[in-house]
Amino acid sequence: MEQTQVTELEGQRIGESIFLTTTDAFFRWAQASSIWPLAFGLACCAIEMMSTAASKFDLDRFGAGVFRGSPRQADLMIVAGTVTHKMGERVQRLYEQMPDPKYVIAMGSCATGGGPYFKYGYHVMKGVDQIVPVDVYVPGCPPRPEQLMEGIMKLQEKIRQKPSRTTHASSNPSITHVVS
């Protein structure tokens, strides 16, 4: 019987209608292909994020365009903008309300490390990684939609490379930086 290698699912196709793979690989593929982001933005980066989701850049092509209004339905938190100490507590609460497995992208200079408020911003957190574990950092002020999309593709790679279903990519110490 004819057998074909399907690399994306790490499986084998046997004949016309039989396909063999592991559940791990199947779930990872499903997760990476349907990342639902949480619909919230904090500053000008959110405008770029909205543009990324809109028709010109069309984030839906990566299965990540279904922005959810509730953290209970979201897989990914894109921290798009300046995180103040006051807002930081809300951001942390939103993160905690998201079901596992969950991921965080720090979008732009502010969320990555305080940005222009690094030295004199008494009220700005020096990076959202002070309060939530960040998977992918996207630099830029603000990053262009292409950069955010690359960040999401990096996250998809990361999810596909997850060791097994029982551990989450978030706990992986390796941090992905998007090079712009």
Partner 1 sequence: MSSLDVTARIQARVGADAAQPELNRADPTLVVPAGSIRSLCQWLKDDTEMAFDHLMCLSGVDWLDRIEVVYHLFSHQHRHRIVLKVRLSREHPSIDSVSDIWGAANWHEREAYDLFGIRFQGHPDLRRILLPDDWEGHPLRKDYVFPTEYHGVACDSSVSGPSPRVCDMGAEQTRN
Residues in the site for partner 1, rule: CB under 8 A?
Answer: 85-86, 88-89, 100, 113-114, 118-119, 122-123, 125-127, 129-134, 166-168, 170-171, 173
Neighbours of 64 (CB within 10 A): 25
Closest to partner 1 by CB, 134 vs 178, is: 134
> Minimum distance from CB of 111 to partner 1 (Å)?
13
Closest to partner 1 by CB, 53 vs 76, is: 76
- Give the closest residue to 131 by CA, choosing from 166, 151, 106, 159: 106
- Give the closest residue to 95 by CA, choosing from 75, 118, 68, 125: 75
> Minimum distance from CB of 113 to partner 1 (Å)?
6
Which residues lie across from 11 on neighbouring strands? 6
> Minimum distance from CB of 6 to partner 1 (Å)?
30
> Minimum distance from CB of 88 to partner 1 (Å)?
6
Q: Is the dihedral of CA 34, 73, 136, 59 positive or negative?
A: positive
Closest to partner 1 by CB, 21 vs 130, is: 130
Structure tokens at 44: 């000008």
Closest to partner 1 by CB, 88 vs 142, is: 88
Which residues lie across from 20 on neighbouring strands? 12
Which residues lie across from 18 on neighbouring strands? 14
Closest to partner 1 by CB, 48 vs 129, is: 129
Structure tokens at 177: 């930086």
> Minimum distance from CB of 175 to partner 1 (Å)?
9
